[in-house]
């Protein structure tokens, strides 16, 4: 074999190797999805959405309290996370520039890289200990800490895309900067900002670790926000590590529902953003 043929062969061989690696990367994805659909689908019925888990040993039951709990936690978390993220980003783009803004951006990046279990520990210290108990409030707070950097960065990016001429047009009309920012700049960036918010919601919907010692989880319905509350990921966790087949079944169903919701949100976010953009 000539040297050239050897080199060519080697190149082809490496190409094949890279293809195999790509396949190896995609195989777990396929496997996981197949399992979730296969194992979860059969357990999806009306009961799943309407009933709370049955005690061990009894068949049936559902994850209704987990669905409701997750919805409540996410809503509460958004109440804090979205305004802080948006208005913080507004400060960085409209009033900032300079060292302070760089510092805040850096802090946001650092925050987003902190393992979420530590966020949970901090929320525990700040809200569970003083209030002397696990609560939905503490869980929502932990989740909002995760949302803030994401919303901040995506909003900032979107605001930067708004052309300066738009702001100038408004300011030159004698519109004060704050009205310009809200009614012109933010309005113009709105679809992108909403996309970012939806993505951040999809992300926290799946978070488990920060809820472990804040929301704690609940076998039953919660009546007050100062009580522990169930959440989908928490239930999936406890069902999965339990020894009961029935609870395993529920865990798979819960995984299917959770993944469907999350991907639904992500897809909605992306198509929402894209279609409005092409319309403009």
Restricting to residues 41-70, name those near other proteins by CB under 8 A: none
18 binds other proteins (CB under 8 A): yes
Judged by CB under 8 A, which of 41, 45, 97, 221 binds other proteins? 97
Is 157 an interacting residue with respect to other proteins (CB under 8 A)? Answer: yes
What is the b/e burial string over 253-276, where b = at least 16 CB atoms within 10 angstroms of the residue's CB?
bbbbbbbebbeebbeebeeebeee
Q: How many residues does the chain have?
A: 280
The answer to whether residue 111 forms part of the interface with other proteins (CB under 8 A) is yes
DSSP string, 38-104: HHHHTT-SHHHHH-PBPPTT---B--HHHHHHHHHHHHHHHHHHHHHHHHHHHIIIII--SHHHHHH
Task: Please report how close the Cβ of residue 234 comes to other proteins at its closest, in angstroms.
Answer: 8
Count residues near other proteins (CB under 8 A).
109
Cα distance from N-terminal residue to C-terminal residue, the chain: 60
Work out which of 73, 193, 213, 222 binds other proteins, going by CB under 8 A.
Answer: 213
DSSP structure class, residue 211: G
User: Which residue, 95 or 221, has its beta carbon nearer to other proteins?
Assistant: 95
Smallest distance, other proteins to C-beta of residue 175, A: 5
Interface with other proteins, residue 161, by CB under 8 A: no
Under the binding rule (CB under 8 A), the answer on residue 37 touching other proteins is: no
Report whether 216 contacts 237 (CB < 8 A).
no
In terms of CB distance, is 140 or 184 closer to other proteins?
184
């Amino acid at each position: 074999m000539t040297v050239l043929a050897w080199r060519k062969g080697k190149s082809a061989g490496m190409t094949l190797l890279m293809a195999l690696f790509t396949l190896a990367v995609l195989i777990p994805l396929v496997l996981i999805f197949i399992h979730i659909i296969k194992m979860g689908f059969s357990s999806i019925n009306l009961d799943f959405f309407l009933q709370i888990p049955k005690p061990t040993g009894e068949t049936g039951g559902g994850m209704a309290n987990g669905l409701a709990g997750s919805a409540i936690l996410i809503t509460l978390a958004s109440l804090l996370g979205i305004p802080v993220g948006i208005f913080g980003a507004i400060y960085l783009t409209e009033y900032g520039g300079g060292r302070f803004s760089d510092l805040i951006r850096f802090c946001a990046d650092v925050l987003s890289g902190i393992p979420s279990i530590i966020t949970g520990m901090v929320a525990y210290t700040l809200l569970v200990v003083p209030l002397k108990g696990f609560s939905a409030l503490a869980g929502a707070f932990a989740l909002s800490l995760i949302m803030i950097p994401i919303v901040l960065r995506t909003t900032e990016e979107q605001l930067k895309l708004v052309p300066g001429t738009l702001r100038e047009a408004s300011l030159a009309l004698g519109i004060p900067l704050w009205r310009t920012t809200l009614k012109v700049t933010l309005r113009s960036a709105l679809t992108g900002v909403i996309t970012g918010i939806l993505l951040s919601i999809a992300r926290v919907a799946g978070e488990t670790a920060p809820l472990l010692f804040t929301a704690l989880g609940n076998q039953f319905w919660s009546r007050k926000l100062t009580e522990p509350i169930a959440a989908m990921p928490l239930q999936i966790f406890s069902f999965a590590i339990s020894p009961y087949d029935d609870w395993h079944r529920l865990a798979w169903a819960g995984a299917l529902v959770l993944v469907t919701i999350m991907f639904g949100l992500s897809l909605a976010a992306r198509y929402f953003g894209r279609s409005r953009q092409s319309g403009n």
